[in-house]
Structure 1
Amino acid sequence: MRHTNRQMVTVAMLVAVFLVAIDVTVVSTAMPHIVRELHGLSLYSWVFAIYTLTTSVTTPIYGKLADLFGRKVIFSIGVILFVLGSALSGASQNMTELVWFRAFQGIGAGAVMPITFTIIGDLFPGEQRARMQGLFSSVWGVAGLLGPLVGGLFVDHVSWRWIFYINVPVGAVSFVLVLLFLHEKFERHAKSIDYLGAAVFTVGVSALLYALLNGGSQYAWDSGTIIGLFVAAAVFLAGFVWIERVAKEPMLPLSLFSNPVIAVSNMIGFLSSFVLIGANVYLPMWIQTILGHSATSSGLTLMPMSIAWPLGSTFAGRFMYRVGAKRTTVIGAILVACATLWLLAVALHSPYWFFVGIMVVMGLGMGYVTTPTTVMIQSAVPWQMRGAATGSNQFSRSLGQTIGVTVFGALFNAGVQDYATRHANGLAGLSSSRLTGILNQLSGGGSATGLSAGLKAFVDQMLAHALHHIFITMFGIGLLTLVVSWFLPSHQKVMEQQKQVA
């Protein structure tokens, strides 16, 4: 990219990443207040689910569009859509409007993340690119730390609407910097856009994610609705594969997945994100309900990971070209597996520092895994395919979290019901309606305080039983991540391929 001001464009990318990264934590903090004002508790989860769905679906599409039309144009469109969706979300008059506007916001977010990392991949060569990954990971850490604080300040002292409105001036800064300082030079010729592939992919993935997000909650897994959605997803995704094989400019080139660097790296991203969502969702539950800490304290359980992740990413970026990209990734996978192994040792009376240590080890592991795989993916393809390759990696991570939260939710519910069925009769005075009320209280984020000593002990045992099912599964996925990482090509082969596509 000739005549591009790398420093200013990097600042623009950092602002854009921060904009998207802080959104989830800020909205999570403000949602209880938003629900009280707008009503519609039944739509609570959809404020997050619809954003995840539209982001996941559009991420690989934007990646390919960035290859066809340039990073600058598509990134700018994504920022505009995200900012517009934010402004509309802030102006919502009811929960239904908020859900629809969050969907619109997610469509914009689907462009920001993959194209940001694609632009960084264009601006910096291999070793510098690895170091930049550490810098950008630190943005996620800062966002994780500041999100609850910023959200709380806006809710308590201004208005919850400003958690969305603030995105407008911040997004404008990123947009203007890119407009002024990013100058691309690539051949402009007639484009053959894979409209059919994009449409079929959108329908197929939307059906899959909708089924995963609603199965076991809104609808039973064996209901006609969920079965129909899975069938539709299978049909449309199979059709998408066929379309991509014959399309002149496929939206998601299937040749990407024949590249072992990309195929294995995407699988690692999927599996590690699977583990990550389990830690993010269920460790705070143990802290708050079993150990009896406050909601703030349980939320702060995630803070060590927000600090350790960028540290691990920085170390990995500095050393991956010295010790090898594969070896660095394997070290990260070992750390992730060790963190999940430590989870198996958690018991009812385990101290708080156990969880802090687990999150530190997992954060370091995620940093060591994410940086080299992202850099390797971008180095394995030429400029014309870098956007699609980066988009495929971001999509793999999103899909891992979506499927992970669904699987873990099903395991948790099954574990609770199993324990309750086998032990509830032994606790005098516990009716089924009372048990249902306690479970609803806990699933809604409430605590177990105010229960009698015997009932509190029963609830703790029940939750520990259910959560250990999740921890065992996380350990299995952690081990699988380690096994898959061994299938990465050697560092020498990665470097040879990097030279070929440079």
Structure 2
Amino acid sequence: MRSAEQQESKGGIWSAGYLPVTLANLTIVAIAAFDGLALVAALPSIADDLGGVALLPWVITAYLATSAVAGITAGPIIDAVGVRRTFRVAGVWFLFASAAAAAAPNMELLVAARALQGIGGGLVISVALTAVGLAYPQRLRARAFAANSMVWGTLGFGGPVITAGLLAVAGWRMIFVVQLPITALALAAGWRTLPSTRDKPQRIVMDFRGITLIVGLVAASLLAVEQMGDRWWLAAAGAAVTIACGAAFWAHSSSAEAPLVARVHITRFPLKRIHVTSGLVLIAGLAADNYLPLYMQTTRGRSASFAAFSVLFLTVGWSSAAFLVSRLLERWREADAILLGSILMIPAVIWAGVGVALTWPIPVIFGAFYVMGAAIGFVSTAGLTLLQASADDSEMGRVNSAHQFIRTIGITYGVAVGGAILLFVVGNQVGDVEVVRDVLGGEDVMTSAATLDAIRDGLVWVLGFSGVAGAGCLAAAMVLWRNTRRLASSTVGMSERSE
């Protein structure tokens, strides 16, 4: 009879040995997935109820900004006290912040509540990533990440439907109310089952100077990308402050005794190439995908509901590829899958750009975005698996948090720069970008033929930007693939000589 350890070593993520942590981790992912996918559809209702339309984008941006900062701050905390204790605090924080958002009486307090919610969300996502590296052996990590992606894909289909039902029955506040039982369920599932590297927690040493510099970098960079195409002088000032904060943080990370992120967690092979490929592939895919609904609703004359569902094709492609990678990595190296995904992104972006420019049938354009999503799935899933295989348990929190920060920043910058390019093209061709802002805000407005053509051309230019990001991803992936093969060959050679 085999021992329990032997059975566990041969089991999958749904086997008895791993089932509790799998359920806990997927419930954690569901918190972030539902929030991200449901709230975008509720923005028009929020604006109608609370007013303050000028602050409406900050309902999303405030969450992303604080989530990015909290995510990178989570690394030292997790490595000091463990995943389980960090999640308990983060989950309770997210629970109360969600309740505050649901009760917000005006737009200003809603934005403040969303900023607080982002702190909990960033901590929770870092916990979910680190838990995979600590709870599962290397052979199962890709499957765990694929299961996480399937949660995103499932909520991608169901999220808009659930949101529409909640808005029709109870209004936008119910979006946050529903998050309360989901968060409570995640807390119950993970309270005792998530792994912990520390039986006795160590003292948490916070790098407050490093955190301050990261806050400055995030705030200034968001200002820079938000003002592109509008107030160029302010965008330039924000970019200058961003560069200054980044340089100061880089210098600080080499001299501080316990830096927020050590240089080695960014530059060590293969971590640097993983960070770069994952960040660029997310920029390439999401810069255009976020504005596909605008194109469908205006230039193609589809309903708002149809347009909202257009973003699902990239999500489904991402989830499908993540599942495929979890199987391929039984025979492939992670660098092979990253290279394949990087190669896929180039023709997919060209396909999408030509399809939009020439007004190809909508299913053909959706097919291009599905392949773009598949490219992200290959690069992201294989990258996370290789990242965790290259990290020790003692540094798993900081390595994963650094990577999550780069991913979040990549998504934020991709969406912001894509929007700036789109507005610039529309403004240059028709001299008025307010109609674009009105449609993005959910208003039902009449658009001229010239504006419709400008939105189409704007999306084509955004896809051109996606192509540049995709080319950068491919270049980094080729270097990673080549160096990985060279390292593998030298390791085999050393083993043969030792024998």
The one-letter amino acid paired with 2:410 is G
Q: What is the Cα deviation at residue 417 of structure 1?
A: 2.7
User: Please, which moves more after superposition, 61-70 or 346-355?
Assistant: 346-355
| C-alpha distance in structure 1 between counterparts of 2:459 and 2:47, whole Å | 28
The one-letter amino acid paired with 1:353 is P
| C-alpha distance in structure 1 between counterparts of 2:445 and 2:270, whole Å | 47
- Partner residue in 1 for 2:349: 340
> Which residue of 168, 175, 194 corresponds with 1:163?
175
Please report the TM-score for the alignment, with normalisation by the length of structure 1: 0.88
- Partner residue in 2 for 1:241: 250
- Partner residue in 1 for 2:267: 258
- Partner residue in 2 for 1:220: 231
> Which residue of 466, 487, 490 corresponds with 1:474?
466
State the SS of the aligned residue for 1:148: helix
1:80-479 alignment, distance < 5 Å: 80-182=92-194, 184-186=196-198, 188=200, 191=203, 193-216=205-228, 220-223=231-234, 226-346=235-355, 347-420=357-430, 438-439=435-436, 441-442=438-439, 444-446=441-443, 455-456=448-449, 458-479=450-471
Q: Which runs of 5+ in 1 are unaligned?
A: 422-434, 498-502
Q: What is the Cα deviation at residue 162 of structure 1?
A: 1.8
State the SS of the aligned residue for 1:180: coil
| C-alpha distance in structure 2 between counterparts of 1:496 and 1:132, whole Å | 31
Cα–Cα, structure 1 residues 473 and 199, in superposed 2: closer, same or farther, change >3 Å?
A: closer
| C-alpha distance in structure 2 between counterparts of 1:189 and 1:161, whole Å | 38
Cα–Cα, structure 1 residues 179 and 253, in superposed 2: closer, same or farther, change >3 Å?
A: same
Please report the TM-score for the alignment, with normalisation by the length of structure 2: 0.89
The one-letter amino acid paired with 2:310 is T
Q: Aligned pair 1:67/2:59, yes or no?
A: no
**1:270–1:401 contact (8 Å) kept in structure 2:** yes
**1:289–1:448 contact (8 Å) kept in structure 2:** no
Cα–Cα, structure 1 residues 169 and 239, in superposed 2: closer, same or farther, change >3 Å?
A: same
Q: What is the Cα deviation at residue 367 of structure 1?
A: 1.1
Kindly tell me the number of residue pairs found equivalent between the two proteins. 475
CA offset digits 1:287-330 (Å, max 9, x no partner): 11111111111121122222222111011111123122111111
The one-letter amino acid paired with 2:117 is Q
Q: Aligned pair 1:490/2:481, yes or no?
A: no
* Identity, % of aligned positions: 24
Q: What is the Cα deviation at residue 495 of structure 1?
A: 11
| C-alpha distance in structure 2 between counterparts of 1:58 and 1:26, whole Å | 22
State the SS of the aligned residue for 1:21: helix
Cα–Cα, structure 1 residues 137 and 189, in superposed 2: closer, same or farther, change >3 Å?
A: closer
| C-alpha distance in structure 2 between counterparts of 1:478 and 1:447, whole Å | 34
The one-letter amino acid paired with 1:481 is C
Cα–Cα, structure 1 residues 365 and 232, in superposed 2: closer, same or farther, change >3 Å?
A: closer
| C-alpha distance in structure 1 between counterparts of 2:218 and 2:266, whole Å | 21
Q: Which runs of 5+ in 2 are unaligned?
A: 9-15, 492-499
**1:145–1:306 contact (8 Å) kept in structure 2:** no
| C-alpha distance in structure 1 between counterparts of 2:164 and 2:285, whole Å | 25
| C-alpha distance in structure 1 between counterparts of 2:68 and 2:437, whole Å | 29
**1:271–1:478 contact (8 Å) kept in structure 2:** yes
Q: What is the Cα deviation at residue 403 of structure 1?
A: 1.7
State the SS of the aligned residue for 1:184: coil
The one-letter amino acid paired with 1:221 is W
Q: What is the Cα deviation at residue 154 of structure 1?
A: 1.2
RMSD of the TM alignment (CA)? 2.5
CA offset digits 1:335-391 (Å, max 9, x no partner): 222210102312343111122211221121111111110011111010111111111
Q: Aligned pair 1:37/2:29, yes or no?
A: no
**2:224–2:236 contact (8 Å) kept in structure 1:** no
**2:266–2:402 contact (8 Å) kept in structure 1:** no
